[in-house]
Chains A and B, each alone.
Chain A
């Protein structure tokens, strides 16, 4: 009887449980299908929609800050070195003779680029996190003035001009260049740069300023990219020239060469339209140096060797006599010493064809590479003493500055700024992120395509067979936490999976990143905050009327005539805030002829204003083109009723995310 009772009770409980589970499951599935507007949807996690607060994202939490050296500048007498410590909101002053840090000054806002006036009395600081330039008195490092510039200023150059003193500031986030008057500190002009102006150098004592633009301009899905070198007259503010570094991206270092009239750019020669399987043949990326001559001719030469690459060329300086250049390779932890005299001789006799082919010749660099100087982790910025005798190498992820004797090319010691953050898993992950040793012959690293974790604006041919043309847009890693699954096909549930063995086989073409380092890498990426796309002084401010109207469109559930918009085509259903993705595969009518499936992962939209091009294969050059050129039958949101004013409003809103 008891057994019967027990059996009955168990059976009843099981049935009840089943009813609850099955009924609940049915109800849940119905709820999900209704709310997503997707009758085809299987049961998915509630977190696709119920995402929680952004404050709980890894990148929103407090993290350790480090003494990472950014821009550096030497006093005119060569005795003092000023170092920007953007992660600590400080500027440090070091004694070049003793290599001791003399003073540190608090400079809020992520001080990154530095410049001194001719007398060495005023230190100008580009503060990238607050879109400002600060002026410090070098006698006491006290801040004297501040002025707003464009978004995310990364470098600043001081130059005397026929119109008076000028400062040229590269605003990497707003793609423009500010020209300031230092006394009184004020912006006198702002001119359009290329994409992501990153570094500036003064030529001919202020006659003109050359600006390196880090990101390539995307001018069509199948067009080879080109980074721009913007040449401007700082006196008039007029653009003099826009040189193209063909097939180049990540051109973030620039230096004028005295006595030769050249300007040198570091760059990555990228062949994104070549199937990525060609990594093993060295066809996808190569590090190089671009030489811009006074007549506008640009010649690219390799920094790599036939069987060894020196990835992420970054800082570059030229000796005062114009005979040597020093190039920091951030992914390979070396500084390359270049013989400019040899290059000068070669340029004088090289045919146009020779010049065009040089970058392709991996055996060419032995002619002019004099030495490779090992450095600490991730050398970025460089500085030379006024007499050219000392080279200072910012070892960004070691929190130190290496000092090299340029005559012997031997290290003289280090200026130690911090402990290197060895116990910080995020910092450790960043080391993995910037380390080229994990790729075939050290050809590239994660940063080679994701500078600062963001995009390089290119689409890459990820065709597995190596014969097709399956272009995929490079997606930003900033703010990516919580947006899994990853990859455009949505197949990778974690970053470890994304960057694991398969990734090594397809892309890196070498052994996979070991698990501990893979975890550190994932940690670093998950802590990358979203890219800021709006000026700092607009952060937290109410939306403008146009942005608000755009927001209303984004959240619209009905057309103006009252007709309901199907839920599956409401912007906010798929791009659900706060992450602006429901992390589901969606079909929006964008399947290309080489795409095996019509559905793609719904990308998050945080920072979308800065991540052009758009759609899975980068076919849309601008946000507008998503709806004006590539919208089919209102599949990607219902836009057919939009006026031009409304489209503009929508774009203005998206640029605030």
Chain B
């Protein structure tokens, strides 16, 4: 309810700014208002699902963002030293040309790319759900296209598991003349695709990779709508050290890049809070038994264990820890939301606490109406991947609507976004282009997921001075 109230307030603020603002052209190339003739601004049409323009609050040029994703200063690196230089205080502009380039000749549709996960691997199921959210958004958008307006067209590619395949797919999407694209789940894939994005100048909206380093590249062709691991682990570290009073934290993580990046971030936070972890041990993804790791962690007498890995693996190991007599509290990140953890952990899941992005039990209309539409389309409830994918697609579709078929202006419409109210709640994009909306805390109690009340947030009253893409 409060979310809705904030939405209304923010929408009012944004709308009034839009109406009152003369929207003067700004002084740098990155901020020019070079709308392609014929491109129509989005307007909320009664009875449709197109998001109101007021749900998009764009950045003021040269606006400053809070350092380090808005985390408390005690979690910052070298917090007690003023560094020589701070990055991401402002967003890296794109200073190149292109905004006045004419659209491709003989366009028959507005092509949006999607890089799915490879069919082999744990991310495939998440990718399927991601796709469902995107397809729903595009179907709804196409229903609202007026006469003479080009339809949106999804150009989809299954991921390639090996050898930097996402880079090849990103290059292929450029050949296929997409205006923008969505993807990917795997952090490595997202990273390699991002680098191609810079060369091909096609904006990318990531909806499902929580690796905080993804947007820390200064490449102004990417935003991520999913809160990242920094947000999750900062929150977790505070919870474990400050709230729960944990003194001896052990880390068990998968031996892959995803878990390595996440674990090191968490360890930094724990150390900065005065509680360096006592153990960091690895396991091979898919391993069935890890007696040596369990023995070593048990010997270190932890009062908390932080897990990073696939939920099936973690569930199995949680059970083994309990069987080995380890009584430490269990903590983890969003993946523990998945059923695989609960199924494999059984009773050992009790009390396990983890972070999650957006509370699916909340009742604000945007979420509940989306859930209903989603269930009608796909026959089941949306999960977090579907929801964030839907929001990511909505941002992209909106950018195309207001920009026309021009990749550079679509980039402006995506990358310059400061706040967006989606079905997952309000998003707040930082200087890297990552959503820093607060994450929520979930706990397993008697086999059920119990959501702690989410930190409410909405754009400040002075947020944004333009309600359209600058």
Contacts and interface: CB of A to CB of B under 8 A. Distances in A.
The answer on direct contact between A and B (beta carbons under 8 Å) is yes
Contacts of A561: 284, 286
A561 B255 CA distance: 14
A188 B286 CA distance: 54
B243 interface: no
A644 B163 contact: yes
A644 B168 CA distance: 15
B162 A643 contact: yes
Nearest to B285: A561
Interface in A545-585: 561
Nearest to A644: B163
Nearest to A645: B163
Interface in A600-657: 643-644
Interface string B139-173: 00000000000000000000000110000000000
A643 B162 CA distance: 7
A96 to B, nearest CB: 62
Interface in A248-262: none
Nearest to A641: B162
A641 to B, nearest CB: 9
Interface string B270-286: 00000000000000101
A643 B163 CA distance: 7
Contacts of A643: 162-163
A644 B286 CA distance: 22
Contacts of B162: 643-644
A643 B284 CA distance: 17
A643 B165 CA distance: 12
Interface in B27-65: none
Contacts of A644: 162-163
Nearest to B120: A640
A561 B283 CA distance: 13
A225 B286 CA distance: 49
A643 B161 CA distance: 10
Nearest to A642: B162
Contacts of B286: 561
A426 B286 CA distance: 60
Nearest to B164: A644
A644 B162 CA distance: 8
A561 B286 CA distance: 10
Nearest to A560: B284
A64 B284 CA distance: 61
Nearest to A628: B163
Contacts of B163: 643-644
B234 to A, nearest CB: 34
Interface string B187-222: 000000000000000000000000000000000000
A561 B287 CA distance: 9
A636 to B, nearest CB: 17
A111 B284 CA distance: 57
Nearest to B161: A640
A49 B286 CA distance: 37
Interface in B256-302: 284, 286
A561 B284 CA distance: 9
For B162, B284, B286, the residue with the greatest tally of chain A CB atoms inside 10 Å of its CB is B162
B167 to A, nearest CB: 13
Contacts of B284: 561
Nearest to A647: B163
A644 B167 CA distance: 15
A644 B160 CA distance: 13
Interface in A521-567: 561
B21 to A, nearest CB: 53
B303 to A, nearest CB: 34
A472 to B, nearest CB: 31
For B163, B284, B286, the residue with the greatest tally of chain A CB atoms inside 10 Å of its CB is B163
A457 B284 CA distance: 45
Nearest to B286: A561
A553 B260 CA distance: 28
A199 B200 CA distance: 45
B118 to A, nearest CB: 11
A554 to B, nearest CB: 19
B419 to A, nearest CB: 42
Nearest to B163: A644
A358 to B, nearest CB: 41
B309 to A, nearest CB: 16
B14 to A, nearest CB: 49
Nearest to B284: A561
B313 to A, nearest CB: 14
A643 B286 CA distance: 19
B173 to A, nearest CB: 21
A559 to B, nearest CB: 12
Interface string B340-375: 000000000000000000000000000000000000
A364 to B, nearest CB: 46
A59 to B, nearest CB: 39
A328 B12 CA distance: 93
Nearest to B287: A561
Interface in A135-189: none
A37 B406 CA distance: 58
B49 to A, nearest CB: 42
A131 B286 CA distance: 51
A629 to B, nearest CB: 13
A637 to B, nearest CB: 16
B186 to A, nearest CB: 16
A95 B163 CA distance: 64
B290 to A, nearest CB: 14
B255 to A, nearest CB: 12
A142 B286 CA distance: 69
A563 to B, nearest CB: 10
A643 to B, nearest CB: 7
A552 B287 CA distance: 24
Interface string B232-265: 0000000000000000000000000000000000
Interface in A57-97: none
A626 to B, nearest CB: 16
B163 to A, nearest CB: 5
B88 to A, nearest CB: 34
B460 to A, nearest CB: 49
B291 to A, nearest CB: 16
A551 B162 CA distance: 22
A232 B42 CA distance: 63
Interface string A250-287: 00000000000000000000000000000000000000
A644 B165 CA distance: 11
B56 to A, nearest CB: 42
A562 B292 CA distance: 19
A644 B163 CA distance: 6
A68 B249 CA distance: 81
Interface of B: 162-163, 284, 286
Nearest 3 Cβ contacts at the A-B interface = A644-B163, A643-B162, A644-B162
6 contacts: A561-B284, A561-B286, A643-B162, A643-B163, A644-B162, A644-B163
Interface of A: 561, 643-644
